[in-house]
Each structure stands twice: as structure tokens, then as C-alpha cells.
Structure 1
Amino acid sequence: MNAIWIVLPILTLLMFELGLTLQIEDFKLFKKRPRPIIAGIIGQIIFLPILAFILGWLFKLDPLFFIGIMLIACSPGGSSSNIFSMIAKGDVALSVSLTACSSIITLFTIPVIMEFATRLIGSNLNIDVHLPIGSLMIQNLLLMLLPIVTGILVKRYRPLVAERIHKILSKVAFPALILLATLFFIQHHATITAQFGKLGLCISVLILLAMGGGLLLSKWMHLNRKEQRTLIIEIGMQNAAQAIAIASSPFVFNNDIIAIPAIIYALMMNVILLVYVGIAKRR
């Protein structure tokens, strides 16, 4: 069974569910509080890909895993970061706005960064990895932008319907991701088990340094404690489902091996961020 036919519907549902939590005003927070938005965008769009590239090189990852790590770093913030920010007593409005902004911005930055990364990795390591930019743009628009916009419109014009759908989808989202991770693990358990040591360590370091970068950026921008917590979570939690969809999609990379880092990332991200949320709540 090809897991991509489960990945794509799950990603579409997650993006639609994200749209149900958004409103037009979430994109206007930049005017009211530009500093935390700028800090978050710098962290996710610039800092994370650079960090992932450096770690991939230092850990001497296999080329396909290297591309997988870069793909995670280029992805937008995960919608679950909003829930984590709420539990950690962070700035939920900021979290929602950053998720919304990164989801739109990365539609256009992913093709640019991944084209550069695949060309550089391919030329240095003598492998042929082709990125069909046109197909990637179309897939992002259909599976990311369209469901998000649809969710926003449903919430705006049918708020009661949106609320009912959101209650259902919010309960389904996490089990769907677990199902997705389980399917990939069953299909590629030998590769995942063999590579988990080095790859798991690299991904854990990526998440921890991303969180540390969020803290430094928030201090540099003189943000308050709630905004600091939100930035740490937002930069530490990326949309693993989107990375899996791009990696395994028959229209883009069509390579499940590239998706393996995202599977491990989804696991480590939740474990590390749950520990952080527990510490933040106590403080």
C-alpha cells in the first residue's frame, strides 16, 4: 500500500482544520506588534534552514536524509503549536498569526530553498535528485493554500458550522498523524531502526537548537515572557505532515526515504516540546 494516498488527504484535512482556527485579523497582527512576528519569521524562514544545513553537514548524513532534514526546516509551523502555546501559557494570538503567516510564506520559499539545497547536495555528492518546482508549487497551492482559505471562509461566513467541524477534526488530527507515522514505520522499519541513532540525534539537536534560537531571537527583540515561550514553541515545531507529503508525493520527490527524517522529527518534536511545556507551566 502506498502511504502517500493517506498522507495527502491527512495534510489537506490538517490545513482545512488550521483554516477553521484562523480569521483575517490573524494576518494583521504584524501592524499591531511587528517585533514578535518579525522574530518568528526570521527564526522559521531563515535560521532553521541554515541550522539544518549545518547539522546535516556536521553529522555527515546520507544525501536523501540530508534533503529530508532540509525539507523539515523549510516547512511552516505545525498547527499543534497553537495548542502547545496555550498549554504553556504563551501568547496564543501570536502563535496563530505565526502559523498563518509561515503557512503562506513557505508556499513560495520551500521551492526556492529546496531547489538550492538539492542542486548543492547533488553536485557535491554526485547524486541525481530532481525537484520539479512546478509540480511542487501546484501541490502546495492545492493541498495547503486552498484548504486554508476554504477554512477561513467557512469560519467567516458559517461560524457555527465551522465550530462543529473544528471540534471533530481537532480530535481526529493527532490520531491521523499517529496512523501516518505507524504506516511509514511498518514500511521502512529496517531503515528507520538502522539509522535512528545518528539521525535521531541530529534531529533532536536541530529541535533543541531551534528552541534555543527562538529564545535568543525573542531576547534580542526584547519580547515579553509569553511571546518568548511562543517563539520557542513555534520555531521548534514544524509541519512534519507537509514534509512527508512533499517527500513521498509522486508529483514531487516520490521518495519515501526522504520522508523518514520527518517521521522521526514528528516523534522527537512532540517528546521534547512536551517536556518544555511541562517545565514552562511549572515556572
Structure 2
Amino acid sequence: MTAAEIVSQVFLPLSLAIIMLGMGMTLVPSDFTRILKNPKSILIGLTNQLIFLPIIGFLLALAFNLNPVMAVGLMILATCPGGATSNLITQVCKGNIALSVTLTATASVLCVVTIPFILSYVLEYFGTDTNTTIELPIVDTILQILVITIIPISIGMLIRKFKSNFAIRMEKPMRIASTVIFILVFLAVVAANFNMIGPAMKEVGLATLLLNILTMGMGYLTARLFKLDLKSAISITVESGIQNGTLAFVIATSILNNVEMGIPTGAYSIWMFITGGILMWQLGKRPKANLAKAHPK
């Protein structure tokens, strides 16, 4: 097993599952029912992830006149909505964790339909049609959501219900642990993809940086335009700009059998950890009092 495989298949999933457990200890069922009763935030978040993100990616591929392989690689990334890393960043940024988890789970299921639809058109448009039928590993995708996100969060919520004092005491340590694991994951990603980083930044560095910044900006602006509270706006911002790089790599290398198409994901992974880290640094130090009005009774 290579270093990259150890990072993506063992270290990252295990670390995220532990963080999801801690995240669950900060949640109660009413956090989710409140969202479901007023689903506007979910609709805005999903629109950004599943519609605006691919459109922005497509326009950037045209604007930068990327070669067909890089253009398709950028679009693969743009069709893969945020994974569990976005939940981790949202927690440290003191965003709406329940909304972040709901968006991640919902988008991950819907992308089983949207990714083949969009990429089939993209492959034909950019002249790289390989006559490959794009079939995502549906069972693996659902299992990943369950094992890394749903089950750990559910266990954490049970702990919160039956051992509430312990759960409350663990909130700050788990936020610190989230930050530490985020840094370790970033270093692991850099180490595992070290040979790819130079060529990736040279070929699509600016395009992927703009994709990251524009999608985050779009997420925040749409959330505030529709008068969502600050915590929800933070969640949608993060969910819009933090993509599921692991899924993108699988599509490029395993389904389309083209390692070069994974280059934009390598570049984007660096940018999203940098911008995500900046958000965590700036928003994570905000006192809870500043966010109190963002939690409606």
C-alpha cells in the first residue's frame, strides 16, 4: 500500500470518523428538525453545490483555455460535492454543524445521479469521450457516508443525550483536536502528492484557486442574499468550496483510467486546505456571544 493509499484509505477516514463522533456530542435532534421545518438553507446549499459549482468550473475551463484533459479534470472536481472535511472545518468555524452534515449527506447521495450526467456531457464537449460508461460505486459511496459521518455523529448524539455533562466538557477539546487533525491531514496530503504539486500548480494552479474562492464567495453571497443567519452562511460557504477530493481521484484514475485528470484535484486540495485553514483561524476565535443571534429559539 502506497503512502497516498494509506492516507486516503486509513488515516483520513479514521480521523474524520473520530471528529464526527465529537461533532455529534455538540448536536441535539432539534438542530436537524429546525432545518427540516425550514428547508430554505438546504435548498440554497444544494443549489450552490450541484448547479453553481459545475457552472463556475466549466466557465473557468473555457476562460483559461485548458487542454481537454485538464478541463475534464477540473470538471470532475467541480461535480464532487464536499465530504466530511467540510464538516470538520464548519465545526471549528462555529458554523451550523447540523446544516453542514445534512448538506454533505444529501449532496453525496444526489451526486450519484448528477456526476454521470454532467461528466458525460463534459467528455463529449471537450473531445475526450472515451466511450466509458460512468458508473459511480453507489454502495461504497453510501457506506462511506454511513461509516465516516452518520454512525459516528449518531453515537455522539446519544452520548450527548445520556452523558450531557461529559459531552459539553468535551466540546472545546474536540474543537482543538479537529484543528490538529486538519493540520495533520493537510501535511499528509502534501506528502502523499508531493511529486504532483509542482506540475499541478503550474498547469491549473490559478484556475483551481479561482474555483475555490469563487465558489466560497458564491456560497456566502447567496446565503446572505436570502437572509440566512451567520452560522448557516458559514456552513454554506464551506460546503460550496470544500470538495470531495477522494471521490474526484477515484473517478479520474479508476473510472476514467487517466491519472492526469487527477492533477486539478491535487492543486485544488492544497488551495482548499489553505483557504479552509484561514477561515478556521479567523472564525474559530469568535466568541459564542457573537453568534448567539444566529441560533433562533
Could you state the TM-score of these two structures normalised by the residue count of structure 1?
0.76
The one-letter code of the counterpart of 1:279 is Q
Deviation of the 1:224 alpha carbon: 1.3
Match status 1:254 vs 2:252: no
- Do the aligned partners of residues 148 and 233 (structure 1) sit closer, same or farther apart at CA in structure 2, a change above 3 Å counting? closer
Cα distance in structure 2, aligned partners of 1:172 and 1:219: 30
* 2:187 corresponds to 1:196: no
1:120 corresponds to which letter in structure 2? Answer: Y
Q: What is the root-mean-square deviation of aligned Cα atoms in Å?
A: 3.5
Equivalents in 2 of 1:260, 1:227: separation in Å?
32
- 8 Å Cα contact 2:100/2:239 also seen in 1: yes
The answer as to whether partners of 1:27 and 1:101 remain within 8 angstroms in 2 is no
Rounded to whole Å, the distance in 2 between the matches of 1:131 and 1:14 is: 34
Summarize the Cα distance change of 1:131–1:17 in structure 2 as closer, same or farther, 3 Å threshold: farther
**Where does residue 233 of structure 2 map in the other structure?**
228
State the secondary structure of the residue aligned to 2:216. helix
Spell out, residue by residue over 1:10-41, the C-alpha distance to the aligned partner (whole angstroms, 9 max, x if none).
67657866875679958755422211111100
After superposing the two structures, state which structure 1 stretch, 37-46 or 103-112, moved more: 103-112
Q: Give the 3-state SS of the residue equivalent to 2:65 in structure 1.
A: coil
Change in 2 beyond 3 A, CA 1:132/1:153: farther
What amino acid sits opposite 1:239 in the alignment? Answer: N
SS at match of 1:134: coil
Q: Note if contact 1:107-1:141 (Cα within 8 Å) is conserved in structure 2.
A: no
Partner residue in 1 for 2:93 = 88
Q: Secondary structure at the match of 2:135?
A: helix
- Could you tell me which runs of 5 or more consecutive residues in structure 1 were left unpaired when the two chains were aligned: none
Which of 263, 272, 277 is the equivalent residue of 1:274?
Answer: 277
Distance 2:93 2:3 in 1: 33
Q: Say whether residues 1:243 and 2:248 are aligned partners.
A: yes
Aligned to 1:39: 44
Secondary structure of 1:268's aligned partner: helix
Overall identity of the aligned pairs, in %: 30
Q: Structure 2: where are the runs of 5+ without partners?
A: 168-173, 291-297
Structure 1 residues 194 and 100: CA distance shift in structure 2, 3 A: closer
